Chains A and B, each alone.
Chain A
Amino acid sequence: MSTTEAARVASVARHDRRVRLWSIAGVLALATGVAASSLGAVLTEGAWWFPLMAVVVAVLASGAAFRSVNSRAWLGSVVAAAGGLVSLVLMFAPQTAILGIIPTADTVSRFGQLVTQGQASIAVQSFPADAFVGIVFLICLGAAAVAVAMDVAAFVLQKPALTAIPLTILLLVPSFVRTELHDAFVFAATAIAYVAVLLVASPQKSTRSAWPLISAALVLSLIVPVVLPSVEPAEQLGSGQGLISTGVNPIINLSTDLRRGVPLRALTYASESGGEYLRVAALDVFSEDTWEPSQNEPTAAGSVTEFPIAPGLSDEVPREEKVLQVEIDRIRGKLLPVPYATANISGLEGDWSWEPDGLTVSTDDSNSRGQNYEVAFVSPAPSVEQLEAAPTTLPDSFERYLELPETLPSIVTETAHAVAGGETTRFDQALALQSFFADGDFTYSEDAPVAEEYDGSGAGVLGEFLAAKSGYCVHFASAMAAMARSLEIPSRVVVGFTPGERIADDSDERRFLVSTDNLHAWPELYFPTIGWIRFEPTVSVGSAPRFAQSVEDDPSTPDVDESQPEPVATPTSTSPATPGARPDLPLDEDSSAATPNGVEISPWWWLVLALPVLLLIPALVRVTRRALRLAAVRQGETGAAWREVRDTAIDLGYPVSATATPRQQFEHLTEHLGDSGTSALSSLLGQVEASAFSTRPETVRVGAVTNVLAALRASVGWRGRLRAALAPRTAFSPRDRRG
């Protein structure tokens, strides 16, 4: 080889090496960027992604640039980390640094400030949070660390498979913030990017043996979104004011949304009749901690074009038929705000269904955001006489609306009896409870419960609320519902919106704007033959329906009957008094299927579920490798046969050196094999040697290989075989070297 030729070869090799370096760095940056987009679930806008990518690219590019001139791998990672630091300085504190890039003590203190700002910003915001500079800095800092970890895994350790660790950490950040925040799409995209990393960055050119890892990654990416409840990613593009998330149980976020400094526009609706309360969720299970929706499955068969008659509403009760045109603005979730009692909805996108007891509307596969729909509803307008005359016998299935947790403080029951014990009818008792809250010495405060640590809706905090007499809608609604239950009046808590502000008054329609300030919770009480009636115990918020207002306190209110239009009989005049009587609406159907309001799985459960899968990966890799080798044997590659025999022997615990010659390995193994095994192995050895080292074309039958493998397995006990199957030593041994 002449000198010039040698120089040319060396230069080509150098060029190849650089191309490989940069393509690995590129694919690592891609994977990090894709995984980082999972943060979209906790942040409102998409703009933070660009500085993040700038840092990631800075890290990986500095590492690659250094390595293309210097082959010391670990030093490359140091340079990569330095590159990340420089990019952070450039973006966040250029004025404190010498020449804009060399950090000084000022830079450090500026970074400290940014971290504090970021932490504070996270603490005060609800999720999805707005990405202020402090948060972006924290994200970029984290991204730099992840990128350096990727760089070390791929270049220093030469194990691109290990990049799964930083990528997984990045993916799981949203679930540590809040358990339900996962996005199946980001998982799948990250899995694909990871596969790309494996394909590009694997130390050897052969991609065949990367397939076991690839299949494992894809299997995991398919399992994870199934195991985790999926939630739509926050839509990052918009006016940047955040979203109202109805989440799994809207009462959980309610207080956070109420405390928003700047109210968010939730929806607008047009109504000919006036403002309406809009219901999002009906919570009927009362526990120590909170009110929750019961686990009834929404009736999927019931399309939203036809709702059942409101539970308990009898023909005698007058009612009004009304229509609302609703445009949802910034509410994100699986639940739809509708008035009570909805008769039909049109104009929705996606599959929506109603829940027969609460008449709430939900979806599995769609989203409330941006929906524009018309909802027709029947507003019951019973007379006070009808309400007072309501019978006291309850349908059997209504016992659950009377259940109280055992830990309910006795003050709740005592107060209920003290306030309403003297009233004769259930309705009068309810009115007494309402005025006890609304007209007594209770004050409205969103902050007092937080300051005094009795925030929440569960039984545990009611005693403190009744003593402090200060709280917000959740407390009032919860307390009144609990007290009603103690008086044998079925009750539930409803979360939704008060009617909102009127914004336009066209000739033929009145338009209302509903914002986060209108988020509200109120109790609904049930009266046989009348149905569920809304009450309004919260001080200075909203108003009870006229028929549910106490006449004593509001003598100016005209009689209910007179204020209402002529009652309109519903077409289905034979409607039963209880929902349970409708055979097509099974109320207590025992179904454990997850509903949108269903199971929450914490990351720890995820780990528990993923662990068996992770533990099976070595076995999976080994089995795949065996299958690939046997396939190679079929195509005439006899070396694969011997590699499989060798690895099987090593898996079974035989002290066979992977670097020994086939004949030396054979001599090791024959000591342990029986006669038939030895002869099978011996003939395989002959074929392998002849095929690999002589000019004679020898082919090996797959059957001959499997015979030898069987003989090897038979030579050890079942424990050895089990260990070889579940924890194969050669699962992650170096790749097969191929000619």
Chain B
Amino acid sequence: MDAPTSGSLPDDVFHDHCDAIVRSISTVIDGKTEAVRLALTVLLAEGHLLIEDVPGVGKTMLARALARTVDSTVSRVQFTPDLLPADITGVSVYNQNTREFEFKKGPVFANIVIGDEINRASPKTQSALLECMAESSVTVDGTTYELESPFIVVATQNPIEMEGTYPLPEAQRDRFMARISMGYPDAAAELAMLRSRELTSPLDALTPVVSVSQLRELIATVRRVFVSTAVEEYAVAIAQATRRDREVRVGASPRATLHLVRAAKARAAIDGRDFVLPDDIDALAVTVLAHRMIPARHTGDTSALLSGHSIADVIERIVAEIPVPVHAAAS
């Protein structure tokens, strides 16, 4: 694949870094190891992460913790209906001293951008994020500004339709590598949270555990993970099946297949493997594919079908139906 030739880390170093990040985030997010691991997977796969859940379960906390464990530039944008595109990308202002227009960089110029309640902004503003997320660049007044690498958007949104919210356009949903949800904590975790948050915000105690350059090395290592023809065929077969399925109106895009394989590489690396297993694909299929697909005959609530199956159910069924190719690697 697109493996760079340098920047790869030895296995143990990679592992240590990953462990450190997971442990660090887990101090603020109690009992949500799976969500944390998924977030890390997306981070290492250089994808954008969408965290969707009801208010108050720690979406923003996860986003901020993730940003804070990496010693990088972080910006946070609270999306509101009156937010304008320029509020994200930046504006050109006239400098009286130099008598020139000067570009004032918006919050998007950061390694990690946290977009809080992203579905509260108008479609116009939301689409301003589009170019940034897809191209890692910003164009203002005809000038294109490259964003720093890595550039990762971690957005949160509420699933419940509320006044003053705009559903995320399909095109933008497709640019998120994965959508995760937090879920309510169990009783023990909730109790532990009560005690630890009484005095201080635990977020304040978080210190970065990896630098930006180390993050780049981690990402480079992930890129070198081997994907066999069999696994590629498997991912493609799943994507194709979502497009043919009766219960689905819009299936997974080719970009979705690409994201699926990239995320699988990150998952394999975190698992300590230098090759992807079909199991990686299976494990990530719902997380990576569900938010981009549109069910047929949906009732308004996009996650539920008339048949009572959610898109996640459909994906799980497809994954179970597609046979796993087991044949010798192409090498």
Contact = CB atoms under 8 A, between A and B. Distances in A.
B56 interface: no
27 contacts: A639-B326, A659-B320, A660-B320, A660-B324, A661-B277, A661-B278, A661-B282, A661-B324, A662-B326, A663-B278, A664-B279, A664-B282, A690-B275, A691-B329, A692-B230, A692-B326, A693-B226, A693-B230, A693-B275, A693-B277, A694-B228, A694-B273, A694-B329, A695-B226, A695-B275, A737-B327, A738-B327
Interface residues of A, number: 26
A739 B277 contact: no
Nearest to A667: B279
B138 interface: no
Identify whether the interface residues of B are mostly helix, strand, loop, or mixed.
loop
Interface string A652-668: 00000111111110000
Interface in B299-331: 320-331
B328 A691 contact: yes
B242 to A, nearest CB: 16
A167 B320 CA distance: 38
Contact of A693 (B228, B282, B320, B323): B228
Nearest to A661: B278
B326 A663 contact: no
Contacts of B277: 661, 663, 689, 693
A637 interface: yes
B245 interface: no
A301 to B, nearest CB: 63
A659 B318 CA distance: 10
Contact of B327 (A690, A694, A697, A739): A739
A636 interface: yes
A433 to B, nearest CB: 84
Given A692-B230, A693-B230, A663 B279 contact: yes
B45 interface: no
Nearest to A734: B323
A690 B328 CA distance: 9
Contact of A657 (B228, B320, B326, B331): B320
A642 interface: yes
Given A638-B328, A739-B328, A694 B275 contact: yes
Given A693-B275, A739-B328, A659 B323 contact: yes
A694 B226 contact: yes
A502 interface: no
Contacts of B328: 636-639, 691-692, 739
B222 interface: no
B231 interface: yes
A692 B329 CA distance: 5
A693 B324 contact: no
A688 interface: yes
A628 to B, nearest CB: 15
B274 interface: yes
Contacts of B214: none
Contacts of A738: 327
A663 B280 CA distance: 11
Contacts of A659: 320-324
Interface string A369-400: 00000000000000000000000000000000
Contacts of A657: 320
Contacts of A662: 278, 324, 326
B42 interface: no
Contacts of A636: 328
Nearest to B324: A661
B156 to A, nearest CB: 32
A697 B329 CA distance: 9
B276 interface: yes
Counting chain A CB atoms within 10 Å of each CB, the highest count among B231, B276, B323, B324 belongs to: B324
Interface in A642-689: 642-643, 657-664, 688-689
B229 interface: yes
A662 B327 CA distance: 11
Contacts of A739: 229-230, 325, 327-328, 330
**Which 10 residue pairs spanning A and B have beta carbons closest together?**
A694-B275, A739-B327, A639-B326, A639-B327, A661-B278, A659-B323, A693-B228, A661-B324, A663-B279, A661-B279
A114 B278 CA distance: 64
A693 B322 contact: no
Counting chain B CB atoms within 10 Å of each CB, the highest count among A639, A690, A694, A697 belongs to: A694
Contacts of A660: 320, 324
Nearest to B274: A694
Please classify how large the interface on chain B is, using the bins under 10, 10 to 19, 20 to 34, 35 or more.
20 to 34
A642 B327 CA distance: 9
A75 B226 CA distance: 46
A559 B274 CA distance: 116
A693 B231 contact: yes
Given A659-B320, A739-B230, A692 B279 contact: no
A695 B279 contact: no
A660 B320 CA distance: 6
Contacts of B231: 693
A688 B230 CA distance: 12
Contacts of A737: 323, 325, 327
A657 B324 CA distance: 10
Contacts of B273: 694
A642 B324 CA distance: 11
Nearest to A657: B320
Given A692-B325, A739-B327, 12 more contacts: A637-B328, A659-B321, A664-B279, A692-B230, A693-B226, A693-B230, A693-B276, A737-B323, A739-B230, A739-B325, A739-B328, A739-B330
A694 B282 CA distance: 17
A692 B323 contact: no
A685 to B, nearest CB: 10
Contacts of A639: 325-328
A643 B324 CA distance: 11
A643 B275 CA distance: 21
Interface string A595-610: 0000000000000000
A208 B251 CA distance: 36
Interface in A611-654: 636-639, 642-643
Contacts of A658: 323
Interface in B259-304: 273-279, 282
A637 B325 CA distance: 13
A688 B226 CA distance: 16
Contacts of B228: 692-694
Contacts of B229: 739
A683 to B, nearest CB: 16
Contacts of B279: 661, 663-664
Contacts of A642: 326
A697 to B, nearest CB: 8
B329 A695 contact: yes
B230 to A, nearest CB: 6
A304 B34 CA distance: 94
Nearest to A738: B327
A594 B282 CA distance: 65
A639 B277 CA distance: 14
Contacts of B326: 638-639, 642-643, 662, 688, 692
B131 to A, nearest CB: 26
A689 B327 CA distance: 9
Contacts of A697: 331
Counting chain B CB atoms within 10 Å of each CB, the highest count among A692, A697, A737 belongs to: A692
